[in-house]
Chain A
Amino acid sequence: MSALLEAIGIGKRFGGVEALKDVSLSIAQGEIYGLIGPNGAGKTTFFNVLTGLYAADSGHFSFAGKPLDVSAPHLVAAAGIARTFQNIRLFANMSALENVMVGRHLRTRAGVIGAVLRNEATRREEAAIERRALELLHYVGIGSRGNDLARHLSYGDQRRLEIARALATEPRLLALDEPAAGMNGTETGALRQLIGGLRDDGLTVLLIEHDVKLVMGLCDRVAVLDYGEKIIEDVPARVRRDPKVIEAYLGGAIA
């Protein structure tokens, strides 16, 4: 399997804190790659650097064999990376359907002239956007909620909506930041199916998750971050037994 995303020597400081220290990892095409670690280990910072929300202090990415420009979010999106957020960030005052339709922005064209003229091509594109957005709502299982404002959806449905919106950008890599946070057992089970289905449909998934069972059951490979450093990258079975990982999660021996 060839690498879809490669991170090489990524570093990020916040004042005196080194949130990411020389982090390198390589995600293969078509796998589900888990990124775990204790709170504050730098997982979300890694996502933010990757998706252009923070500027890295050092290191670079390559995506699908080409250097990845992470200087602005829309460039990352255009390259084929989409993400969701640990603390859900929907367009709260837009409808669920519109949230997904915004996600289609990247793959559609109509500009000022189309908006003014409302010509045939523009109207056809608009209809296609709406149709695709509706498909995606159905795909994640909230097809009947399209006209509800995003902020009126239940917590679990908001998470699904965020995934649908991310999928609307037609990513090759989907980065999910703690998608199961706050979900009950049933919701987590449905989420597991959804993520597994995404991989079966050819998507590569980068998953940050605290739910160890979910990660171990779903991921092909797992990397563990601790204090901003990658301490291991391996298949789940070996990661689970690694002494460094156990120490990171449970703390060192009492001195």
Chain B
Amino acid sequence: MDTFVQQIINGLTLGSIYALVALGYTMVYGILGLINFAHGEVVMIGALTALAVIKPLAGAGLPWPLAVLAGVAAAIAACMALGFVIERVAYRPLRNAPRLAPLITAIGVSMVLQQLAMIIWGRNYHSFPQLLPATPRAIGGAQITDLQIMIVAVAILMMAGLALLVNRTRLGRAMRATAENPQIAGLMGVDANHIVSLTFVIGSALAAVAGVMVSANYGIAHYNMGFILGLKAFTAAVLGGIGNLTGAMLGGILLGLIEALGAGYIGDLTGGFLGSDYQDVFAFFVLIVVLIFRPSGLMGEKVSERA
């Protein structure tokens, strides 16, 4: 029972992070029909940028909370700019190209960003400082840290903010209209290019926060961290139904729970044959199962309408 509660807590933490990243995939897919495989790298840049700002600021004697806030703000700003530039340079020129072209370009962008990060930050694993005191609180026989509470709370806040933006504002309506039909939205005066840029910038801001969260959670950051994380978040988006915002949130949380519970119990289930280091297997097992049995995902029904 303790393991169960503990893994639920871990799963919710992990799932919140996946959900934030999955939103970036699903928003871009909803508007452009493009899988932005470079999105995981944006998460990585967010984490490393935050690290690069927090360490020297804290070292210079700035109070810890201020240094952390400055680091997060810098990560958000850097990722927003990066997302904007990626779309302008890599995807916009291919807007009307066959679908394979932007997909391959996305993989290319992903590699370029990884190599760039390796040149700037090196190949080493950097230890990421503890953002909040690590003293755990007891809850139902399990433990939860302030950081975990913070991660879930911030993720919920950001998702609520996004939902509000998309469903209740002029820009959100323009985004949904563009996702349904960019040309008709254009006839309503919506500049599709503006909306696409905005989508990349918002998705990247969420990715930046997710990057800080994941590094804080595991205590490390490195140039290659975005790859697997990106794939998992993509899996979460597919699980929820790619193109569907609620689906991405749900898919992220679900995937986090599946992974955490899987990792917690795999040893027992296989008689100790497989250990929790097989955690990553679950995400991709889920991806395969979803693609076989419900390719449109849990909440996605609109795939056929797009054709």
Residues of A within 8 A of B (CB): 51-53, 72-74, 76-78, 82-83, 85, 89, 91-94, 98, 101-108, 110-112, 114-115, 122, 125-126, 129, 165-166, 168-169
CB < 8 Å neighbour of B169 from A52, A103, A115, A166: A115
A52–B186 contact, CB under 8 A? yes
What's the minimum C-beta distance from B132 to chain A, rounded to whole angstroms?
26
What's the minimum C-beta distance from A190 to chain B, rounded to whole angstroms?
24
A110–B171 contact, CB under 8 A? yes
Alpha-carbon separation in the docked complex, A165 to B184 (Å): 11
Q: Which residues of B contact A91 (CB under 8 A)?
A: 176-177, 180-181, 184-185
Q: A73 and B183 in contact (CB under 8 A), knowing A105-B190, A165-B188?
A: yes
A112–B171 contact, CB under 8 A? yes
Q: Can you report 14 residue pairs joining A to B where beta carbons are below 8 Å apart?
A: A52-B186, A52-B187, A74-B191, A77-B188, A91-B181, A101-B170, A102-B188, A110-B170, A112-B198, A114-B170, A126-B170, A129-B170, A169-B187, A169-B189
Alpha-carbon separation in the docked complex, A175 to B233 (Å): 45
If A102-B173, A103-B188 are given as contacts, then 13 extra A-B residue pairs at C-beta distance below 8 Å, sorted by A number, are A53-B183, A72-B191, A83-B187, A89-B181, A91-B176, A91-B185, A102-B177, A104-B170, A105-B173, A110-B169, A112-B171, A115-B170, A129-B170
Alpha-carbon separation in the docked complex, A149 to B176 (Å): 14
Q: A105 and B183 in contact (CB under 8 A), knowing A91-B176, A92-B305, A165-B188?
A: no
B interface residue count range (under 10 / 10 to 19 / 20 to 34 / 35 or more): 20 to 34
Q: A126 and B169 in contact (CB under 8 A), knowing A102-B190, A105-B190?
A: yes
Q: Which of B128-183 contact A (CB under 8 A)?
A: 165, 168-174, 176-177, 180-181, 183
Residue B302 lies at the interface, judged by CB distance under 8 Å to chain A: yes
A92–B186 contact, CB under 8 A? no
A77–B180 contact, CB under 8 A? no
Q: Which residue, of B173, B184, B188, B305, has the highest number of chain A Cβ atoms within 10 A?
A: B188
Q: Which residues of B contact A101 (CB under 8 A)?
A: 170, 173
Looking at chain A's contact residues, the main secondary structure is helix
Residues of B within 8 A of A (CB): 165, 168-174, 176-177, 180-181, 183-192, 198, 302, 305
B180–A92 contact, CB under 8 A? yes
Alpha-carbon separation in the docked complex, A58 to B51 (Å): 56
Alpha-carbon separation in the docked complex, A78 to B190 (Å): 10
Q: Which residues of B contact A92 (CB under 8 A)?
A: 180, 305
Q: A105 and B170 in contact (CB under 8 A), knowing A91-B180, A93-B180?
A: yes
B186–A72 contact, CB under 8 A? yes
- Closest B residue, CB atoms, query A89: B184
Q: Which residues of A contact B302 (CB under 8 A)?
A: 93
- Closest B residue, CB atoms, query A53: B183
Alpha-carbon separation in the docked complex, A73 to B184 (Å): 8
What's the minimum C-beta distance from A57 to chain B, rounded to whole angstroms?
18
A115–B177 contact, CB under 8 A? no
Q: Which residues of B contact A129 (CB under 8 A)?
A: 170
B180–A73 contact, CB under 8 A? no
- Closest A residue, CB atoms, query B193: A72
Q: A82 and B187 in contact (CB under 8 A), knowing A93-B302, A112-B198?
A: yes
Q: Which residues of A contact B183 (CB under 8 A)?
A: 53, 73
Alpha-carbon separation in the docked complex, A106 to B194 (Å): 13
What's the minimum C-beta distance from B307 to chain A, rounded to whole angstroms?
14
Q: Which residues of B contact A103 (CB under 8 A)?
A: 188
- Closest B residue, CB atoms, query A82: B187
Alpha-carbon separation in the docked complex, A112 to B197 (Å): 12
